[in-house]
Amino acid sequence: MAKLVSKVYGDALFAVAKETNRIDEFYADAKGMLEVLQNNDDLNTLMDSPKIVKEEKEKIIENTFSGSVSKEIIGLMRLLVAKDHYKQMASVFEYVIALVKEEKKIGIAYISTAVELTDSQKAAIMDRLLETTKYETFEMHYETDNSLIGGIVIRVGDRVVDSSIKTKLYELSKNLKNIQLAL
């Protein structure tokens, strides 16, 4: 249900952003709102309270964010509250951010290695990703995971390239179990 809510409302907001040539503005607003929703427990507690009626929650949204974000973002937030989808609001903004990044050909790469990479290694990975994907730039997220033993795991969207020693050992062990000895 949450994915459907994100898609329906996110697609609608993105369509408005494109029609009005305000993709950058909506992107900035969505990022800002996502940060507010992720870091403001008091607001979330208030908006989740069954003691406050929807109309009052809509006024809270209007009064709190008017002048800070576009009227379309406020309208979306009020609609989500009215339709009892406040809990999905963050995922709607995450979806919109992802749509904008796709539109602007910004990829997101998650890189896991057993040891910390040097700047030149990071640059080489970035260059290779730019050569082999449709993206024009990347947001790179690096993680050190010593359980990999060696090698690298790269995730871009739903594609994963895993050349870690940990995975190679697992595959070797699986293959060895399937070998039957002929007597």
Contacts of residue 107, Cβ cutoff 8 Å, sequence gap at least 6: 101, 129, 133, 135, 137, 138, 139, 156, 157
pLDDT at 180: 67
Separation of alpha carbons 47 and 86, rounded Å? 7
Computed over every residue of the chain, the mean pLDDT equals 94
Distance CA 28, CA 97 (A): 9
pLDDT, average across residues 139-155: 95
What is the Cα–Cα distance from 66 to 89, expressed in whole angstroms?
A: 17
**Per-residue pLDDT tens digits for 66-125:** 999 999 999 999 999 999 999 999 999 999 999 999 999 999 999 999 999 999 999 999
pLDDT for the residue numbered 176:
85
Place of tokens 């050909």: 105
What tokens were used for 136?
Answer: 């024009």
Residue 181 pLDDT grade (very low, low, confident, very high; cuts 50, 70, 90):
low
